[in-house]
């Protein structure tokens, strides 16, 4: 939860030129797909050569009867676990259409998941649009969207889609639904999609960003953390090295555990990881929040 107004900080703490435009004010199932289960064993004796199993196993070569049927593939629908199965593909876009500009933000639903969307003017017709998905803290989706509308233009995110879920009520599956919804409606850049979780949204943000949809995010910052988790897949298994960091907000043990897990999975980390700058020892610090937002703009999957 952010405890200080951001408007004053933008004038005194960002060191960037203020935007002259104005906008009105206005938060699981995990699993990764494998490439199919092993084939079934060959049948018992006979005089014919053994038949092949599925494409995953090799044919029997002994004097046995016809081979048994191949075993079924895994039925999980999560992301792939090798570069060949990377979802979504590198160097491509979602090719979504039908969305509408919402420069002052709008309330939408994806199935049963509610969220707020900031879609800058021109984003509905633009190609390869950057996208930041956010889990709020206890300030809720409305409070977090107000913050994001203020700060995004100062950190080179003014042309990006921003979707905010209420971190107090939304889970990882909600985040996946919103991710899919935005990608279906806008031409999202597969390699410039990022995740930010704040305070009360920590646990479900970790579940989404480090497991359920790990391969979708070029960068993930867990801010004002109150829980820890580690990546399900390494960079080698993903086919690219994501960026990551954590803002302790007074909880250095959890932030350290998150960053150590990212390091062990060969994530790319800034030199200051976990974040130790202004606000790192205070939960709800606006300075730490601004550092988190400043993290994303130049991060890509590659």
Q: pLDDT tens digit string along 10-42?
A: 433 343 333 333 333 333 333 333 344 444 444
Whole-number percent of the chain with pLDDT over 90: 71
**Concatenated DSSP letters for 260-274?**
HHHHHTT-B--SS-S
Q: Is the residue at 299 inside a domain?
A: no
Q: Out of 15, 44, 73, pick the residue that ends a domain.
A: 73
Residues 169 and 204 in one domain: yes
Tell me, yes or no, whether 78 lies in a domain: no
Residue 230 in domain: yes
Kindly tell me the sign of the dihedral angle through the C-alpha atoms of 260, 263, 267, 268: positive
Phi and psi angles of residue 45, each rounded to the nearest 5 degrees, phi first? -40, 160
Residue 31: per-residue pLDDT: 37
Domain contains 214: yes
Let me know whether 112 and 179 are in one domain: yes
Which residue has 């200080």 as its token pair?
Answer: 4
The count of domains in the chain is 2
DSSP annotation of 37 reads: P
Cα–Cα dist 219/269, whole Å: 10
16 and 49 belong to one structural domain: no
**Spatial distance between the Cα atoms of 92 and 185, rounded to a whole number of angstroms:** 16
Same domain, 173 and 245: yes
Q: Is the confidence at residue 69, as pLDDT, over 80?
A: no
Q: Provide the mean pLDDT of the chain.
A: 82
| The model's pTM | 0.76
In this structure, what CATH number is given to the domain that contains residue 16?
3.40.50.1820
Please report whether residue 149 resides in a domain. yes
Indicate whether 270 and 286 sit together in one domain: yes
Note whether 164 and 18 are same-domain residues.
yes
Does residue 146 belong to any structural domain of this protein?
yes
pLDDT over 50 (residue 275): yes
Q: Do both 155 and 39 map to the same domain?
A: no
What angle separates helix 140-151 from helix 286-293, to the nearest 10 degrees? 70
Domain boundary among 73, 95, 127: 73
- For residue 166, being part of any structural domain is answered with yes
Indicate if 62 and 120 belong to the same structural domain. no
Does one domain contain both 63 and 119? no
Shared domain check, 159 and 15: yes
Domain that residue 131 falls in: 6-27+85-293
Residue 302 domain flag = no
175 and 249 fall within a common domain: yes
- For 203-250, the DSSP string reads HHHHHIIIIITGGG-SEEEEES-S-----SS-HHHHTS--EEEEE-TT
The answer on 157 and 40 residing in a single domain is no
For the segment 175-200, the average pLDDT, to the nearest whole number, is 98
């Amino acid at each position: 939860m952010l405890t200080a107004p951001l408007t004053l900080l933008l004038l005194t703490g960002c060191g960037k030129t203020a935007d002259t435009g104005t906008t009105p004010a206005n938060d699981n199932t995990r699993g990764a797909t494998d490439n199919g289960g092993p084939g079934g064993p060959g049948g018992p004796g006979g005089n014919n050569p053994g038949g092949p199993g599925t494409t995953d196993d090799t044919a029997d070569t002994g004097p046995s009867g016809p081979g048994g049927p191949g075993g079924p593939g895994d039925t999980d629908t999560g992301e792939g676990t090798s570069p060949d199965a990377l979802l979504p593909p590198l160097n491509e876009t979602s090719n979504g259409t039908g969305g509408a500009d919402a420069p002052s933000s709008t309330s939408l639903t994806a199935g049963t998941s509610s969220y707020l969307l900031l879609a800058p003017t021109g984003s509905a017709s633009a190609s390869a649009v950057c996208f930041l998905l956010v889990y709020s803290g206890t300030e809720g989706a409305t409070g977090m969207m107000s913050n994001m509308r203020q700060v995004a233009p100062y950190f080179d995110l003014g042309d990006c889609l921003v979707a905010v879920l209420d971190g107090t009520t939304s889970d990882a599956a909600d985040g996946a639904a919103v991710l899919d919804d935005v990608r279906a409606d806008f031409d999202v850049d597969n390699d410039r999609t990022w995740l930010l979780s704040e305070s009360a949204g920590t646990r479900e943000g970790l579940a989404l960003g480090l497991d359920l949809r790990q391969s979708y995010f070029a960068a993930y910052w867990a801010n004002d953390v109150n829980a820890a988790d580690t990546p399900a897949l390494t960079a080698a298994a993903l086919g690219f090295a994501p960026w990551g960091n954590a803002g302790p907000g007074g909880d250095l043990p959890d932030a350290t555990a998150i960053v150590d897990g990212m390091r062990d999975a060969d994530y790319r980390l800034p030199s200051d990881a976990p974040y130790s700058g202004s606000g790192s020892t205070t939960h709800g610090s606006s300075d730490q929040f601004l550092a988190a937002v400043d993290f994303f703009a130049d991060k890509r999957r590659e």
